[in-house]
Structure 1
Amino acid sequence: MSLEVEDRPSVEPTKQLKRQDSLYGDAEKVSSAKYHGSEGSWSRLLQLAFQSVGIIYGDVGTSPLYAISSTFPDGIKNRDDLLGVLSLILYTLILIPMVKYVFIVLYADDHGDGGTFALYSLISRHAKIRLIPNQQAEDAMVSNYGIEAPSRQLRRAQWLKQKLESSMAAKISLFTITILGTSMVMGDGTLTPAISVLSAVSGIREKVPSLTETQVVWISVPILFALFSVQRYGTDKVGYSFAPIITVWFVLIAGIGIYNLVVHEIGVLRAFNPMYIVDYFRRNGKEGWISLGGVILCVTGTEGMYADLSHFSIQAIQISFNTVLFPSVALCYMGQAAYLRKFPENVADTFFRSIPAPMFWPTFITAILSAIIASQAMLSGAFAILSKALSLGCFPSVQVIHTSKSHEGQVYIPEVNFLMGLASIIVTITFRTTTEIGNAYGICVVTVFSITTHLTTIVMLLIWRKKFIFVFLFYIVFGSIELIYLSSILTKFAQGGYLPFCFSLVLMALMMAWHYVHVNKYWYELDHIVPADEVTALLKKHDVRRIPGVGLLYSDLVQGIPPVFPRLVQKIPSVHSVFLFMSIKHLPIPHVVPVERFLFRQVGPREHRMFRCVARYGYCDMLEESGLFKGFLMERLKMFIQDEAAFENNSTTRDSQTCSEGSACPIVPSGQSGNINSDLVEKEKQLIDAETERGVVYLMGEANVIAGPNSSLVKKIVVDYVYAFLRNNLTEGEKALSIPKDELLKVGITYDI
């Protein structure tokens, strides 16, 4: 059943009300929403820049703990190699975090939100690439949707749009790389705590050399346990208060870098000459190429700048990166290179051995705190990305806890936190050294870089519509750099590099299995819907009686009546006095303003008091608590009834005026008609209030999905075992919707797909 807006006769806007029907209603009430960091004074901008130091730079800021030692796992054979590696590190920092992310990718934001999922959502608004057919014309009327159809003159954008929409392979490919990026970020969130904490704790061996590698590992495990235990308090409480610590960390590493440059060899500044990179590869050949797997660790956590964009602003991140992060980290690496030019034998413990003796303990303590903060920020980003993936229907409806009232994007997922914490501890105990963990870590980092490059290229062509030469240069330059780094890291596949692949393949398989069944279940319900105009006959057939209260029947469908409703009235022939078919729909935008939340449509005659309602949320929006949701829903329903009556009254007045002009039909006095409608509306609104007081019952279809009898073996495994396992062990539909258990009624039904 189509949800297109009905054609309305054109009349003077001062005499004609707009119709609030066909789920059109509140979408016409457009308001402008502002986002965190969108506007503000210079003082506010500088405050955001300071806060961003504590949230998004902990990971890339702690990379000096392990980057150079990972680049030279077998020691330094030629001291001039230090200049080549330092030059590689400096230009990697300049090209990927600074040029690509800070000055290009950050602008590919989705109403202030960033990350792989935000890119996918941005593309899906301009081309119909989502696999679930729940797009409605009214969605584009939401104020935050912000879609501008490509101009006909720009044939390239139109051609790309048509190809994306008509090709199932393109849709599946975009979806696949999006969940691959999500899986890799989850892997990143698992490995970041392991490598950061282990690197920081290993520094104690400089003062206590009797400590064994095993003892260092077991000191790290309680720290990791505590780190994952405090996640429930959220970034707002755990992260923001630590901005001063990260700032102290950057001051310390910059100071140590300057000290080593002055004391040992300031001549390493020659590394800004890129010819040292050429000489390095000429001298080392294949070994130099393999060492790139260690060099890339200098930019770990770069994706966090983009993923956490919703908490800050582009300008704030640009200021903090260019004035704090890059100078501090660059000075630290230059200082390490200067130190190693004189003491190349200490490459395995470069960072802590290069610290001046009086500064060791303050730096050591700050390093541990910074490693914890870096891990916490990456975990928060992983939770945020996974919560967005829920709106794609590619993950079970696990409980998502919003940990901040002021920043909607900060979330905590208990089940996922437990699994990631367990995995991080197992990785630490199993691999024991930062070198092998670094091999796995690098693959996660570069894969996410590459996915971002591909999706941003599509955004440039389809939405920004930049000149082809600029898009081509962006794709070739950064795509080539990332491909070179990835090829290097893959040579260490057997030395730990397999870990993120295995982790991501398992997570991707689970997400794709869930999404596959979710899409097929949606299509099954769509094929078996009950047309709205047949509801009256259905109620009469089963002699359905109306009982007191308000009933809300939840379904994924945004059109028609779900097949679970006939099952309900067949088994229990009773329906609440006010009945709503509810759909919770996530739009491909970060936020939907509350005034545009609900869309209504009358089902059957007015006396049935049955409605369809679509509650629309952005992927960063928090679902309201039950009491607040009920109150808001009923108020909007009463407004809908009043708007409908006003439209009908206006239509009657117009029709009577038309008749009077031809003197062919009686004239109904508009004032009398308005009084009658007004009385009916007041009675209906009072009835809704009364029935709400009697109680609201939430009805949810408990669909047991099984593979059809003629299904293949693979489909039976995916549907009957993988999906069933996830559904039975992870799904928490009523918790995700904040439905009180004493007001919930589940209706069982089985679908053969």
Structure 2
Amino acid sequence: MTRTNDRHGLGALTLGALGVVYGDIGTSPLYTMKEVFNPANNVPLDATNIIGAVSVIFWALMLVVTLKYVILILRADNRGEGGIMALTALAATSTPTRRTALLLTGVLGAALFYGDSVITPAISVLGAVEGLEAITPAFKPYVLPISLIVIIGLFMAQRFGTEAVGKLFGPIITVWFLVLGVMGALQIARQPGILEALNPLEAFAFLQARGWHLFVIMGSIVLALTGAEALYADMGHFGARPIRIAWTTLVLPSLALNYMGQGALLMSDPGALESPFYRLFPSSLLIPAVLLATAASVIASQAVISGAYSMTKQAIQLGLLPRMHILNTSEKEAGQIYVPMVNWVVMVAVLLATVGFGSSSALASAYGIAVTITMFITTMLTFFVVRYAWNHSLALALAATGLFLLIDAVLVVSCSLKLLQGGWFPLVMGAAIFAIMSTWKRGRELLIEHIRRDDPDLIPFITSLAEDKEAHRIERTAVYAVANPGTVPQALMHNMKHYQVLHEQNLILTVKFEEVPRVPIGERVRVTHLVKGFWRVEMSYGFMDEPDIPTALEQCASQGLTIDQGATSYFLSREIVVPTPGSGMAHWRESLFATMSRNAGSVAEFFKLPHGCVVELGTRVQI
């Protein structure tokens, strides 16, 4: 590739990163300053406090986003992928006990991410549409209905995919950030005293003056940081370098200028607190500003919705959620997927949150706690990556993450103060999703234990079949997909019991999803010959891979096993789970697992098995 093409590719990735990665944090100026000086926070609106608050916001962006995410965490590259699942897999490389604890911590962080996927669309769209009130108070009754229409339209459009719309994301968000910077700079020119906010001592003095009340203020300041997790979560889509370039060249300067511009406006006109963002614009530009803000908020929402789809796919392949129907919406980008079940569940939750809270100010109380806990978990996992995956000293690992852990802990405590005002909402959602994930994982473990305990051992059984001269064999290939390769597949026993038929080639197939993003194609399939007519085939996928069993079986030829796809039958066992009192899990969890198991998506569809070649047998299993 030429140097020109390199630059072109880097430019396109940087533009894409602007659209997808920074939409959430880019819409924070819509409501952050208004919430910092909310009368409930009891902060006098004077020049000293305005400069101090803006300084805290600026240095929070520098410490949390620039130093923690852009410089440190983007280095935690798990085979090119990022996000809390990838980080968990990278961190969980130590002792088994620590590994289990870290995996559970990562699952908690993933569960809380869904809370963010609900709050972000609601607060972003409401915050943008509320700009109509700045045009005329007569629009106030229409803010909520218009917001609901925008949200419904956003989720209805998901099934068409984001490829076409995605091409517009980068340019629109680029215009958005340029507008943020220009409008902020105009106010700074009128009130240059706000530039004192660049001095970190102003931030320190502001927080020191608050005393213990600083936790209340930080609960509002954190609104400026929401969306920071997206930098790492979307690393696999764009790469670390484009994300860093976008932040340092456009996003950070624009945000800093806008927050200082809002501060300058409030210094000269305290009455602008009612809507400090929209008061930056002259009245003639308010309508375009509202339209641009709404477009930016929709893009910000799209980013977390797409993230919820990706998180769901990863959770399914790590055994944390039952199979669901997943559609690829792009022929070029494997990462662009649509999960109908997740889409409609999240849409209903967003609509309920929008109606229930009614305004961006009310939602601000709910916003933050799930995000800050996730940020704390990310920093904690990063410590284990630095210490054990990268093999650095304990002192260096603590030095690299200690300050960030302290900041994250302050943010978590600050947001916890808003628990009764709405902070409970994302926590309840996260707890419910954590219960679902942990129940599914434990239920699958119990199911496999039951199969291992009750079904006969594989090798003695197939050895006796291989030595049976009278067994009726047909010239076809049978693929038995099993969770436990050491026991006899139920379908094989049924074939022998009811039909007394044995296929010429019998493959005992197990599919494993490794705790890495992707498994190289050359390492995907392992073939082991067992006895005459029987082979064990092991397939490995990463949690970002697209499983396709027929395609993977073609690789068996290089290991001495030739398979005629046109003469192959796939035998699947579908366990009908029956909850029983006693050991295992609590009865409600067993009932939940049984319900999820009954409603899980098709195995054949999930693994792309050809229609007409699948035989599915059901067995009742008590756990």
TM over 0.5: yes
Aligned to 2:65: 97
Aligned to 1:339: 265
Alignment of 1:366-445 (within 5 A): 366-445=292-371
Alignment of 1:503-518 (within 5 A): 503-518=429-444
User: Identity of aligned pairs, percent?
Assistant: 29
Deviations 1:537-559 (A, max 9, x none): 15778975323433221112344
Within the alignment, does 1:180 sit opposite 2:108 as a pair? yes
Point out the more displaced range, 192-201 or 470-479: 470-479
Within the alignment, does 1:734 sit opposite 2:604 as a pair? yes
Q: Which runs of 5+ in 2 are unaligned?
A: none
Within the alignment, does 1:228 sit opposite 2:155 as a pair? yes
* Correspondent of 1:288 among 214, 235, 238: 214
Q: Which runs of 5+ in 1 are unaligned?
A: 1-38, 128-160, 643-684
Aligned length: 617
Alignment of 1:91-240 (within 5 A): 91-124=59-92, 127=93, 161=94, 164-165=95-96, 167=97, 170-212=98-140, 214-240=141-167
CA RMSD of aligned residues (A): 2.3
Deviations 1:419-459 (A, max 9, x none): 00110011001100112212222012101110100111000
Relative to structure 1, the CA distance from residue 591 to residue 536 in structure 2 (aligned partners, 3 Å threshold; closer, same or farther) is: same
Matched residue SS, 1:702: strand
- TM-score between the two structures when normalised by the length of structure 2: 0.94
Aligned to 2:35: 70
Alignment of 1:238-637 (within 5 A): 238-263=165-190, 265-527=191-453, 528=455, 530-538=457-465, 544-559=471-486, 561-563=488-490, 565-605=492-532, 608=533, 610-624=534-548, 629-630=549-550, 633=553, 635-637=554-556
Give yes or no for contact 2:451–2:487 (8 Å, CA) kept in 1. no
Runs of 4+ in 1 over 6 A off after TM superposition: 539-543
Give yes or no for contact 1:586–1:617 (8 Å, CA) kept in 2. yes
Find the aligned partners of 1:354 and 1:500 in 2 and give their Cα distance.
Answer: 32
Find the aligned partners of 1:709 and 1:427 in 2 and give their Cα distance.
Answer: 37
Matched residue SS, 1:211: helix
Q: Which one-letter code corresponds to 1:604 in the other structure?
A: V
Aligned to 1:42: 7
Find the aligned partners of 2:125 and 2:581 in 1 and give their Cα distance.
Answer: 52
Deviations 1:100-128 (A, max 9, x none): 0000000101111001100122234xx3x
Find the aligned partners of 1:398 and 1:233 in 2 and give their Cα distance.
Answer: 18
Within the alignment, does 1:717 sit opposite 2:588 as a pair? yes
Displacement after TM superposition at 1:389 (Å): 1.3
Matched residue SS, 1:497: helix
Deviations 1:274-300 (A, max 9, x none): 222333234433443202111001011
Aligned to 1:52: 17
Displacement after TM superposition at 1:384 (Å): 1.0
Give yes or no for contact 1:533–1:604 (8 Å, CA) kept in 2. no
Matched residue SS, 1:103: helix
Give yes or no for contact 1:538–1:566 (8 Å, CA) kept in 2. no
Deviations 1:587-607 (A, max 9, x none): 2222223333221122312xx
Q: Which one-letter code corresponds to 1:68 in the other structure?
A: M
Matched residue SS, 2:277: helix
Give yes or no for contact 2:461–2:488 (8 Å, CA) kept in 1. no
- TM-score between the two structures when normalised by the length of structure 1: 0.78
Relative to structure 1, the CA distance from residue 219 to residue 639 in structure 2 (aligned partners, 3 Å threshold; closer, same or farther) is: same
Deviations 1:474-530 (A, max 9, x none): 332011111111111111101110001100011110111100011122233334452
* Correspondent of 1:638 among 540, 544, 557: 557
Deviations 1:155-189 (A, max 9, x none): xxxxxx3xx22x2xx34421221111111111111
Give yes or no for contact 2:491–2:571 (8 Å, CA) kept in 1. no
Find the aligned partners of 2:66 and 2:39 in 1 and give their Cα distance.
Answer: 30
Matched residue SS, 1:578: strand
Point out the more displaced range, 422-431 or 362-371: 362-371
Give yes or no for contact 2:369–2:412 (8 Å, CA) kept in 1. yes
